[in-house]
Structure 1
Amino acid sequence: MVLSIVFSTATIAMILLIRRFYGNKLTAKWKYYMWFFLLISLTIPLLPIQYIDWKHSVPQANNSIMNTSQHSETSTSVNNGNWMNDFSYSVNRLDFTILSEIIFYGWMIGMVFFGVFAILAQVRIHRIKNASTTIENQDVRRLFARCKKSLGITQDLVMKESSVVTSPTTFGFFKTYILLPNDLDKSFSMREIELILLHELHHYKSKHVHVNYIFLVYQIMYWFHPLVWWAFKEMKLDREIACDAAVLHTLDRQSYKDYGNTLINFAHRYARFSSFHLTNQFFGSKTHLKKRIINIADYNGDSLPKKRKGIITCIFLSIVITIQVPVTAVTAEPNDYYDFDDDQPVYEDFSDDFGGYDGSFVLYSMQNEQYHIHNEEKGTLRMSPNSTYKPFSALFALEQNVISIDHSTLNWNGQPYAYNEWNRDQDLPSAMQHSVTWYFQELDKQVNEENIQSFLEKVDYGNHDLSGGIEEYWLESSLEISLIEQVQLLQDVYTNQFEFEEEHIQFLKDVMILEENDSGTLYGKTGTGNINGKHRNGLFIGFVETSNDTFFFATNIEENDHATGSKAAEITLDILNQKNIYHHRKEGKQNDT
C-alpha cells in the first residue's frame, strides 16, 4: 500500500508537471494518453513481481573438494551429548499484526462500500435506459446514421431520448446507448445536433465507455487516495478535450466556431447538470466547459511536431514506469520469495512428522543432484536465519582475520546473561556449541558492516539486507533467506565455490559437527526466532556425510509459540531416519538462539 501511494503520487505529479510546462506542445490526444501511465503505476504494486530474481544465480557444484577425513586440532568433539539444548535469545519487536489487520479490513470495507455505490450507479443507468423512448424525429435518426457512416462505425448503436438526462450521454459495456435530452430537436438546429452526435460517437470510437469501467475499478481499489480521485477527474477533462479535438479534426476551420457555440448554447439551455457515473457526457461542469472552450478556440490541428513530442513524452513516461518495476521487486516486504527454477524436484509430504507445525523441509542429494521438498511455498519463502547465520558470521570473521584457527577467543565483557555457558570467555568451538550470541555479534562488529555487506553479496546470502543494524540484522530483522537458498549456500560453501581459504572451510566444518555414527557424520546449526519471549520460528540447517553421498538439508517450523530450533532438528532427524540417510541416537538437545 505504501508503494502504491508513493508511485501513484509521483506519477501524478510528473504528469501534472508535463501538462503545466509542456502541455501546449502536445496534441490533446497525447495529453489524454499520458493518464494511462498512471494506471500502469497503480497496477505495478499489485503484481507479484517480487518473485522475480534480479540477482545473479550462483552455479551449483557437484563434487566435494573438501578433505573429509582430517580435522584441525581445535575441532569439537564428535557425539556432543548436549547439542540439542535450547539457548534462546529474545528480541523485542513491535507487533504490527493488529494494525495491519485493521488497515486491511478497513481497505476491504471501503472497497465494498464504493463497489456497492458503483453497482447502484449501474442500476440507475439501467433504469434510465429502460425508461427512455425511441426518437421519433426521422431527420435526427437519418443524421445519426450519416454521422456513423462518416466515422466508419458499422456497429449497431442505440439512440434514445430521456427526460432524466440533461446532457447527451453515452454508456453501455456490451451494447452502447446514446441518450439525448427530450425534445433536443426543438431546442437545437440539425447542425448543432450533428456536432453533438459526432462528439458522442467519437467517445464510442475511442472506447471511452470501456475505459470508464477500467478507471472505476482503480477508483474502488484506491478509494483512500484523494490524489487518485482528483487525477481521474483531470483525466476526464483531458478526455473531453481530446474528443473535442477529434471532432474538430473532421470539420473545416469555419465550423470550429459552430462547435464552440454549440457547447456554449448547451450550457445556457441546460444550466442544471446531472452527472452519471460510468457514462460519457457532452456537457460537464462549467469549470471544465470553460477550459474546453479555450482549447477549441486555440485549436490549430494536430501538427507532426506535436505528435512527435507526444511520442517522446510517452517514451519518457514509459522509462519512468519501467524503473518502478525493479524498485517494487527490491522493496517488496515483509516476506519475499526466492525464484526456485529446478526442473525436477521430488515433492514429498511429511505433514505427519511436522505434527501440526506450519513449515517446510528441503533436502538435496549431491550424488543424485536431486531436491526433495516438503511444502515448496514455505521452502521458497525468505525468513530471518537467526542462529543458522552464525556459521557464516564465523566464516566471514576468519576470512577477514578477525579470528584465526589457533586464536579465536573473545573475552566476556562481564555482562550477565541468562545462560551460565555464555558468562565466560569463548572461542569459536565453544561459542558454536552453546550458540553464544554475544560472541558472533562481536565478530560482526570487528568485521564491520561494509565488509559484511561485501561477503553477503559475494555468497548471495538471501536478500543481503543489513538495515536492521550490526547487532541484530540476522535476529528476526532485515536479513532473510529461504530454506532452498540455505541448502544451495551450504553446498556452495562445502565445495568452496567462493574460493575462501581451504583451512577456514575445514575449521568451520569441524565446529559444526554434531555427532557421528555408523550411518554417517551429522553437521548443522539450529536457530530459534524468539520474539518478545515467544518462540515463533524454528530452524535447523546442515548436511550429512555418508559413505556414498552428501545430503544438505534445511527445516523450518512456525507457530505463535513453541517453535524452536531443537524441535525443527527433531523433525529433521525423523525424516532423515525414514529416508534411511542418517540414524540418530536420541540423546540431548540442540543449542538454539
Structure 2
Amino acid sequence: MKLFTKLFTLVLTSVATSFSCTNEEGSQSEMKLPERIESTSIKSLFDSTKVKGAVLIYRQGKNIVYSNDFDWAETGFLPASTFKIANSIQALENGIVEDDSTMFYWDGQPRYLKSWEEDLTFHQAFQRSCVPCYQQIARETGVERMRQTLEKIGYPGMVFDSSTIDNFWLEGDSRISQFQQIEFLKRLVNKDLPVSQKTVDIMSKIMLIDQNEDYDFYGKTGWAQPNDSTNIGWFVGYAVTPKDTLYMATNIQPTPAFNMNDFGKIRMLVTIKALEGLYK
C-alpha cells in the first residue's frame, strides 16, 4: 500500500465540513532551498482535476522543494481559514484561550453551518473551522496585540485595523504565499517560534488530522471568496513519517469546468495525490 493511500481514503469518505467551511474566509519568504524540482506528476494531476494553482511540497530531510508552478507558489493570496493556525497561536500566547478545552458558547443565533450551532471547545472550533469563534478571538485580542504578536511570531502580510480586525483574513488586502505558509509551519514544528512549549503541544493536538504507523498528518484548510467570481482554496500542513517531515501548501482556484460541489474536498485531495506521486 502506498504511504498516503489510507489518508486519501479518509478524505474521500469524510464529511467536508470536518476540515473546511464554505464562504470562509507577499513575497517569497526566505526558504533557503538548494534545489527546486518541477514535478511533472503534479502538473499531470492539475490537468486532470480541472483546477488551476499549485501544490508546494518541501522535504525537510532532503532539503528539496517540489511544485508544478513555482511562480504561483510565490504569489500572495488571502489566507482564509489557514490563518486559524496563527490566530490559535496568538490566542494561546495572549491568554485569550487557556487550552484546547476552552469553551466557546453559542448564543443561539443561526450560523452559516449547523456544525457551529452548539457550544464548542477550542479544539472543536479549530477542527470545524468555526469562523464566529475565531472572529470572537480576534476581537478580544484587539488590533495592537494582534499586530504585535503576528510580528513577534513572523506571520507576514496581514493588513487590518479596528474596522477589519475580525475579517482581515477573509477579505481585504492581506496576502500570504505558499512559500511563506511553509516557512511558518517549519518554524512551528521545529520549535523556532518564540512561543511556549504548551502552545506548540496544543497546536499539534488541534491540527492533527490522521495518525497511524506510517505517518502523523496535520493541517488546515481555507476557502476565501473575495468577490462573486473568485474562489481561493487552501490546504497547508505537514506529515511526519519515520524517515522525513514533509511540509505542504496547496493553493487552487476552480476552472469553469470544475464542479463546485467538490471544492470542499479537492484542496486536500490534490495535496494527498501530489504526495502519493512523490512516493511511487
Q: Which TM-score band applies after superposition, normalised by the shorter structure?
A: 0.7 to 0.9
**Residue 44 of structure 2, aligned match among 347, 352, 364:** 352
- Residue 416 of structure 1, CA deviation: 0.5
Contact 1:345 1:370 in 2 (8 A): yes
Q: Distance in 2 between matches of 1:483 and 1:386?
A: 13
Report what 2:7 is aligned to: none
8 Å CA contact 1:363–1:372 kept in 2: the answer is yes
**Corresponding letter in the other structure for 1:454:** Q
- Alignment counterpart, residue 87 of structure 1, candidates 16, 21, 44: 21
Task: Letter of the 1:465 partner, please give it.
Answer: V
- Residue 82 of structure 1: CA displacement? 3.3
Q: Structure 1's 489 and 459: CA in aligned 2 closer, same or farther, altered over 3 A?
A: same
Q: Output one character per residue of 1:364-396: Cα deviation in whole Å (capped at 9) or x when no partner.
A: 112122212220100000100101111211110
Instruction: Give the partner amino acid of 1:351.
Output: K
Residue number in structure 2 paired with 1:337: 27
Corresponding residue SS for 1:345: strand
Matched AA of 2:96: V
Q: After superposition, where does 1:174-573 map in structure 2 within 5 Å?
A: 337-338=27-28, 342-349=33-40, 350-354=42-46, 355-405=49-99, 407-467=101-161, 469-531=164-226, 536-559=231-254, 562=260, 564-573=263-272
Which AA in structure 1 matches 2:65? Y
CA distance in 1, matches of 2:226, 2:158: 22
| Unmatched 5+ stretches in structure 2 | 1-9
RMSD of equivalent CA atoms: 2.4
- 2:273 is aligned to 574
In the TM superposition, what is the alpha-carbon distance from 1:560 to its structure 2 partner?
A: 6.2
Equivalents in 2 of 1:90, 1:370: separation in Å? 32
Task: Tell me the alpha carbon deviations over residues 153-172 of structure 1, each in whole angstroms, 9 at most, x when there is no partner.
Answer: xxxxxxxxxxxxxxxxxxxx
Aligned residues: 259
Counterparts in 2 of 1:521 and 1:339: CA distance versus 1, 3 Å: closer
Unpaired stretches in structure 1, ≥5 consecutive residues: 1-78, 92-335, 582-593
Give the C-alpha shift of residue 83 in structure 1: 6.0
What displacement does 1:532 show?
A: 5.1
Larger Rg: 1
2 CA distance for matches of 1:572 and 1:352? 13
SS in 2 for 1:488: helix
Contact 1:462–1:481 (8 Å) recurs in 2: yes
Asked if structure 2 preserves the Cα contact closer than 8 Å seen for 1:493 and 1:505, the reply is yes
> Between Structure 1 and Structure 2, which shows a larger proportion of strand residues?
2
* Alignment deviations for residues 499-534 of structure 1 (CA, whole Å, 9 cap, x no partner): 311011111111111112332111111111134566
Q: Deviations over 1:389-437 (max 9, x none)?
A: 1121111000001111165112112221131111111211111121110
**Helix, strand or coil at the partner of 1:377:** helix
Output one character per residue of 1:45-75: Cα deviation in whole Å (capped at 9) or x when no partner: xxxxxxxxxxxxxxxxxxxxxxxxxxxxxxx
How far did 1:474 drift? Answer: 0.2
Q: What is the alpha-carbon distance in structure 1 between the residues aligned to residue 226 and residue 38 of structure 2?
A: 31
SS at match of 1:412: coil
Deviations 1:261-316 (A, max 9, x none): xxxxxxxxxxxxxxxxxxxxxxxxxxxxxxxxxxxxxxxxxxxxxxxxxxxxxxxx
Between the aligned partners of 2:212 and 2:34, the Cα distance in structure 1 is: 34
Alignment partners' CA distance in 2, 1:533 and 1:463: 23
Q: What is the CA distance between 1:535 and its match in structure 2?
A: 5.8
Task: Write out aligned runs for 1:51-90 (5 A).
Answer: 82=14, 84-85=16-17, 86-89=20-23
CA offsets per residue over residues 524-575 of structure 1, 9 Å max, x none? 1111113456661111000001011111100011136738352111100111
Partners of 1:363 and 1:434 in 2: CA distance: 25
Tell me the CA shift for residue 339 of structure 1: 5.9
Q: Deviations over 1:453-506 (max 9, x none)?
A: 112212322323224711110003222100011001000011121231101111
Query: What CA distance in whole angstroms lies between the structure 1 residues aligned with 2:100 and 2:235?
Result: 28
Identical-residue share of aligned pairs (%) = 21
**Aligned pair in 2 of structure 1 residues 83, 501: CA closer, same or farther (>3 Å)?**
farther
Deviation at 1:90, TM superposition (A): 5.7
Structure 1 pair 406–476 and aligned structure 2 pair: CA distance change class (3 A): closer
Distance 2:271 2:60 in 1: 18
Q: Are the equivalent residues in 2 in contact too, given 1:366–1:549 (CA < 8 A)? A: yes
Change (3 A) 1:383 1:406: closer
TM-score (norm 1): 0.41
Closer, same or farther: CA 533–415 of 1 in aligned 2, 3 Å: farther
Residues 513 and 565 from structure 1, CA distance in 2 versus in 1: closer, same or farther, beyond 3 angstroms? same
Change in 2 beyond 3 A, CA 1:450/1:502: same
The whole-number CA distance in structure 2 between the counterparts of 1:486 and 1:406 is 23
Say if 1:83 and 1:551 are closer, same or farther in 2 by CA, change over 3 A: farther
Higher RCO structure, 1 or 2 (CA under 8 Å, sep 6+): 2
Contact 1:90 1:533 in 2 (8 A): no
